[in-house]
Amino acid sequence: MTATAEAVRSALDAVRARIDAAARRAGRDPATVALLAVSKTHGPEAVRAAYARGQRDFGENYVQELVPKAAALADLTGLRWHFIGHLQTNKCRDVAGLVATVQSVDSERLVRELGRRAAAAGRTVGILIQVNVAREAQKSGCEVEALPAILAAARETPGVALRGLMTVPPAADDAGESRRWFDALRALRDEHGGAALLPELSMGMTHDMDEAIAAGATVVRVGTAIFGAR
C-alpha cells in the first residue's frame, strides 16, 4: 500500500541518511551517489510528495504506467523520468520523447530504435546497458559477451548518449550475496573504458543499496523504502 505524503517525506529523509552513511563507510563522497526513486505501482500523489521534499529523479518499469503518470505530473518542473523495465522496440517511441535515461537497454536493436525515435523527437536519451552479470536464465539484461557490440552501437548511434551500466542481481535473502555481482559490474566497467567512458553504475535497490554503494554505485534505484510495499 502506498504510504501517505507525510510517510513518503520521512522515508525519503531516512533513505538519504542511509545513502550518506553507506557512502561515508565506503570512504566516498555522498554527493557521488544519486537516488533514483522508483515509483512504479504508486500514484502521482506519491511522486508529488517526494518531489516536494526535493526528489527529482523517478524510475518507472512499464510504458503504459509511465505515460499517463508523466502527463498527470507535467506541472512539476525539473522532474526527470528514467525507464528501468523491459522495453520492447515497439514502445521506444513512447519513451524517447519522455525520459532522461533508459537504464535497461540490452540489445543493439534497442539502441538503434531508441536512437532513431529520440532523434526524430529532436532529443538525446541517455542510456545505460543492463548486463545479466549472474547469467540467470530468462532474465533481462544482455549477456556479458554481447556487451562490446552493444557499447559500440551505443557510441555510434545518434539520439542516444551512453552513460554507463546497470544490473539487477539474483534475488537473495542475504544482501551480502549481491556484492559479488556489483563487483562484477564494476569490473566490466573498468574493462570497457572505465569511469571516463561509462560514468554511471546503476545498482542497488531497497535491500542491497548499502552493498552497491560500497561496490561503487553512482545510482541506487529505491522503491519500497520510500513509497512502501507494492
Ligand X SMILES: *Cc1c(COP(=O)(O)O)cnc(C)c1O
Residues that bind ligand X (CB under 6 A): 38, 40, 61, 84, 168, 205-206, 221-225
Task: Give the angle subtended at the CA of 218 by the CAs of 150 and 91, to the nearest 5°.
Answer: 45
How far, CA to CA in Å, does 162 sit from each of 23, 35, 171? 25, 19, 27
d(CA 183, CA 47): 31
- Listed in sequence order, the residues at least 6 apart from 117 whose beta carbon sits closer than 8 Å to its beta carbon are 92, 93, 96, 97, 159
Q: Which three cell numbers stand for residue 201?
A: 553504475
Minimum distance of ligand X from residue 78's CB (angstroms): 22
Minimum distance of ligand X from residue 196's CB (angstroms): 26
Minimum distance of ligand X from residue 169's CB (angstroms): 11
Q: Which residue is nearest to ligand X (CB)?
A: 223
CA 42 vs. chain centroid, Å, equals: 17
| Nearer CB in complex with ligand X: 159/201 | 201
Pairing type for strands 125-130 and 101-105 reads parallel
Minimum distance of ligand X from residue 22's CB (angstroms): 14
| Nearer CB in complex with ligand X: 70/168 | 168
Minimum distance of ligand X from residue 217's CB (angstroms): 12
| Nearer CB in complex with ligand X: 15/214 | 15
In the numeric block, the cell 523520468 is attached to: 81
Cα atoms in the Cβ-side hemisphere of radius 13 Å centred on 2: 15
| Nearer CB in complex with ligand X: 159/204 | 204
d(CA 47, CA 50): 5
Q: What is the DSSP letter of 60?
A: E
| Nearer CB in complex with ligand X: 157/178 | 178
Minimum distance of ligand X from residue 143's CB (angstroms): 18
| Nearer CB in complex with ligand X: 65/183 | 65
